[in-house]
Amino acid sequence: MTTSKAITTAGRLEGIGEYYFSKKLREIDELNKQGKNVINLGIGSPDLPPHPDVIRVLQEESAKPNVHAYQSYKGSPVLRKAIAEWYRRWYGVGLDADTEILPLIGSKEGIMHICMTYLDKGDGVLVPNPGYPTYRAAVKLAGGECIDYSLTAEGGWYPDFDELDRLVAGADGRVKLMWVNYPQMPTGQLPDQGLFERLVAFGKKHAILICHDNPYSFILNDRPMSLLATPGAKEVVIELNSLSKSQNMAGWRVGTLAGAKERIDEILRFKSNMDSGMFLPVQLAAAKALSLGKDWYDSVNAVYRERRGYAFQLLELLKCDFSKTQVGMFVWAEIPSSYADGFALSDRVLYDANVFITPGGIFGSAGAGYVRVSLCTPVEKIKESINRIKSAGI
């Protein structure tokens, strides 16, 4: 009798679990099969469509016979020029469309590309706590080591630069990257110019590449900012951006990376081995989306502003504490002391009221005492959630 050798996964997956929302959506599906009809106030996937002109461009271009071939690894010149103009118009940043822009199949893939391009085994990366979980996963998959830096309500959800200096010193020169994200997710904290100037100075001081993830700058915010607008930023900064949120194109998977030519060329060495470019009609439709004016952003924000008002009511009902100045498509709130952590409150709301809100602990240990409510749900659903929570006596 012969025995077969067990098939095992790669060591790089050790400590990498399935994405939290992937698992939670399966649980919610099971609850729905039991007739629970769960209202999901967790995931930040826009429920509104793109502008009709964007869809029209996709339809018209897709019908042409000559648009279905492989595309350039660097993206269509039309899209790159549209990204450059978008950066100039809204952020006041000048970018060379030929050398300083790299379209991405969603900015999430860019996070992985950056980590794979720059990290060797054991290299250190400064990661925000709380912060987007994908930063941590990408660092680990690339063989790097996550070095948490703290964000606190008392510190205005800004990094403590004295702590950052200590962390770099303690890592004996191993820190190569730092992930930052403003407007910050999950806290909704806006940046100011002083913060951006300090980040650029910090990167230069320690020869660390500052990786700024910037997908939320237009949501409920009248002053979009780019870290690349800071003098000298291109020496040490690369910035990710996305059409998922502000253009309602999450499922289209269109993002961009912007930075100095040297950085773009380096990351392209990795990316060009991972994909064969983006469907051209999607790129042309994305270019159209980037050309939309202030009326578009105002209309999107009017919807989110109304929803946010009801999300505030829901969180007040749960006796949570939160800032009404936060921006983005979520509301971040501190839980009452009667709950052990955000997971406990999230589970009670889910199982007693059939409403799902995100526990803050999935964003790091510093988020344990918080929950997050998404604004990507119609007002009627948020109102119904309020009624369910009232009926459940939570």
CATH code: domain of residue 154: 3.40.640.10
Q: Is the CB of residue 281 less than 8 Å from the CB of residue 294?
A: no
Compute the average pLDDT of residues 12-25: 74
Residues 29 and 135 both lie in one domain: no
DSSP summary character for residue 88: H
Residue 5 in domain = no
Looking at the structure, tell me whether residues 185 and 273 fall in a common domain: yes
45 lies in some domain: yes
**What SS3 state is found at 128?**
strand
The distance of Cα 38 from the centroid of its chain, to the nearest Å, equals 24
Domains in the chain, number: 2
Q: Both 175 and 84 in a single domain? A: yes
> In this predicted model, what pLDDT tens digit does every residue of 29-49 receive, in sequence order?
888 899 999 999 998 899 999
Q: Is residue 357 part of a domain?
A: yes
Q: In this structure, is residue 343 part of a structural domain?
A: yes
CA distances (Å), 267 to each of 33, 275, 324, in order?
A: 44, 13, 38
Confidence check: pLDDT of 20 > 80: no
Q: Are residues 181 and 327 in the same domain?
A: no
Is the domain of 28 the same as that of 79?
no
Say whether both 36 and 86 belong to one domain. no
Residues 386 and 315 occupy one common structural domain: yes
What does the alpha-carbon distance between residue 54 and residue 248 come to, in Å, rounded to a whole number? 10
pLDDT digits (tens, 9 = 90+) for 285-333: 999 999 999 999 999 999 999 999 999 999 999 999 999 999 999 999 9
In the predicted structure, residue 23 carries a pLDDT above the cut 60? yes
What is the residue-averaged pLDDT of the chain? 95
pLDDT of residue 1: 56
Asked if the structure places residue 377 within a domain, the reply is yes
State mean pLDDT over 198-227: 97
CATH of the domain at 382: 3.90.1150.10
Any domain includes 3:
no
Verify that 104 and 248 share a domain, yes or no. yes
- Band (15; pLDDT cuts 50, 70, 90): confident
Place of tokens 């509104």: 48
- Boundary (domain end) residue, out of 290, 317, 336: 290
In 112-153, at which residue ranges do the beta strands (DSSP E only) sit?
124-129, 145-150
Same domain, yes or no: 223 and 341: no
User: Would you place residue 24 in the very low, low, confident or very high pLDDT band (cuts 50, 70, 90)?
Assistant: confident
User: Does the residue 211 lie in any domain?
Assistant: yes
Q: Are strands 330-334 and 370-374 parallel, antiparallel or unpaired?
A: antiparallel
Same domain, 109 and 233: yes
- H/E run at residue 177: strand 175-180
pTM: 0.93
Radius of gyration of the chain (CA): 22
Domain of 317, in residue numbers? 11-49+295-392
- Weakest mean pLDDT among 42-46, 64-68, 78-82, 127-131: 42-46
Evaluate whether residue 1 is within a structural domain: no
Q: Is 171 helix (H, G, I), strand (E, B) or coil?
A: coil
Confidence class for position 64, pLDDT limits 50, 70, 90: very high
* Confidence at residue 18, expressed as pLDDT on a 0 to 100 scale: 65
Say whether both 41 and 60 belong to one domain.
Answer: no
Residues 196 and 276 in one domain: yes
Looking at 245, 262, 290, the residue that finishes a domain is 290
- Which of 267, 290, 313 is where one domain is finished? 290
Higher-pLDDT residue of 25, 223: 223
Whole-number Å distance between alpha carbons of 163 and 53: 48
